[in-house]
Amino acid sequence: MTASPPAAPLPAFAVAAVKAALHAIPMNATVGVQITDVGVGWATGECPDTPPFRNHLGTIHAGAQFLLAEAVSGAAFAGAFAAHLQQAVPLIEKLETHYVGRAVGDLQARAEADMADLPAAAAQFQAEGRARLVVHVSVTDGEAKEVMRAVAHWYLRARPAPPQG
């Protein structure tokens, strides 16, 4: 993953819409997952370290890390397909996780799709009404160490046309 976001920003209304959609998911709100920024195919987010979401070791539970990775990957995916979200449904198919350290303190996450994959995915959606995109995620803790890596497989499908009546 790159250290800085790609140059193509999303319009402010699209960023606000993606954030609102992810923040409205009850589980994200319960755990405190927040999307902090969104661009075309990338996003960042955070999750606070709170006692109810710690594990038996006193560190942040893997479930909270998983939830943050899913949310930030979904925001990156939505950023890649922002122009199509009114007529399409994004769905996660798979989230492959690798926990690489114990998480201490507030979590930060960054998700990025490979920018080279975006044109083909957009063309596939235009041609077939569906597309897939892989998003890579890195989660770091309050000590700025990477604690989790994930690979999210997202799917976009067109909403069915309303019945003609």
pLDDT digits (tens, 9 = 90+) for 82-133: 999 989 999 999 999 999 999 999 999 999 999 999 999 999 999 999 999 9
Other CB atoms closer than 10 Å to residue 149's CB: what's the count?
16
- The yes-or-no verdict on residue 9 having pLDDT over 90 is no
Q: Per-residue confidence at 49, pLDDT binned at 50, 70, 90? A: very high
User: In which region does residue 32 sit, left (phi positive, over 0), alpha (psi from -120 to 50) or beta (all else)?
Assistant: left
Report d(CA 38, CA 79) in Å as an integer.
6
Domains of the chain: 12-158 (3.10.129.10)
Q: What is residue 7's predicted lDDT score, i.e. its pLDDT?
A: 53
Report d(CA 142, CA 74) in Å as an integer.
23
Tokens found for residue 144:
């700025």
Q: Per-residue confidence at 66, pLDDT binned at 50, 70, 90? A: very high
